[in-house]
Amino acid sequence: MAREAEFFASGPGRTRERPYGWGWLLTLAHELAAWSDPDADAWAAAVRPLADVLSGNLVGWLPAQTYPVRGGLHPNSAFGLLRCYEGAPAELRDAIDDAVRRWYLDDTDYPAHYEPSGSDFLSPALAEAELVARVLPAEAFGAWFAAFLPRAASSSPSQLFAPVTVSDPSDGQLAHLAGLNLSRAWSMLAVASALPDGAPAAAALTASAAVHAEAGLPFVVGGDYMVEHWLAAYAVGYLTA
């Protein structure tokens, strides 16, 4: 951990694995800090110097990131920052909040009918919506979401609300789509819970999450390494949402 912290504080480390890997490490740090267990305490202490380096790197990087990365793979800005948000120190939380307001609050009528791309494991639309929900209070988020995906209450666009087909889970890129089904389900539950009580889109999102999970969970175990070695993390995200 000390060597990792040293590397990520250096020149090449300041861009490596940003923001996806950084976000998962900060998720780990948060989970360890919240776990009351002697072994967890020891690991939390070991991980903290690296978490502090990555938090500082994010605070330095975000003001210079003029535009978000909106694709459905590792560089996606919203998903990486979601993994950083829980347990973030105040300075990092403020930097993320500022980035969200600069990048996303003017987005309307998002073209989610163009999703997915062929190797996506994230929904750019849903990751963005989930991150905005962390920043805005419920009523403000409800108004933003109604303009962002204005036909969500009618489960539209269908390309977003219907699970995707995984044609070959042994192919490292096509296997990503199993993750897309689970990450969509995970985000849909989070977004639905963040909407104001009675929001018509919440029921559509919750129903679609269940269908996506049914399509994605069978790939978590008993299949090919190309899909199994990472998919459990997305399953846990969905099952604990």
In the prediction, which pLDDT does 193 show?
A: 98
Q: Are residues 168 and 233 in the same domain?
A: yes
In the prediction, which pLDDT does 223 show?
A: 83
Residue located via tokens 């930097």: 95
Could you please report the per-residue DSSP string of 58-124? HHHHGGG--S---SSSTT-HHHHHHHHHTT--HHHHHHHHHHHHHHTTT--S--GGGPPPTT-SS-H
| CA atoms within 13 Å, Cβ hemisphere of 62 | 25
Last residue of a domain, one of 103, 133, 160: 103
Q: What residues contact residue 189 under an 8 Å CB cut-off, 6+ apart? A: 205, 206, 209, 238, 241
Q: Are residues 197 and 215 in the same domain?
A: yes
* Residue ranges making up the domain that contains 210: 108-241
One-letter amino acid identity for 82?
L
Last residue of a domain, one of 103, 123, 145: 103
Question: Cα–Cα distance between 123 and 125 in angstroms, integer?
Answer: 5
Low pLDDT (below 50) residues in the chain: none
Q: Are residues 56 and 95 in the same domain?
A: yes
Q: Are residues 77 and 134 in the same domain?
A: no
Question: What are the pLDDT digits (tens) for 133-190?
Answer: 999 999 999 999 999 999 999 999 999 999 999 999 999 999 999 999 999 999 999 9
Q: Are residues 32 and 131 in the same domain?
A: no
* Both tokens assigned to 75: 């560089």
Q: Are residues 131 and 82 in the same domain?
A: no
Question: Looking at the 3D structure of the chain, how many domains does it have?
Answer: 2
Q: Are residues 205 and 92 in the same domain?
A: no
Q: What residues contact residue 119 under an 8 Å CB cut-off, 6+ apart? A: 72, 73, 173, 174, 176, 177
Q: Are residues 81 and 8 in the same domain?
A: yes
Burial class (CB in 10 A: 0-12, 13-18, 19+), 228: middle
Q: Are residues 85 and 174 in the same domain?
A: no
Q: Are residues 177 and 230 in the same domain?
A: yes
Q: Are residues 117 and 232 in the same domain?
A: yes
- Backbone φ/ψ region at 148: left (φ over 0), alpha (ψ -120 to 50), beta: alpha
Q: Are residues 126 and 74 in the same domain?
A: no
Last residue of a domain, one of 72, 103, 134: 103
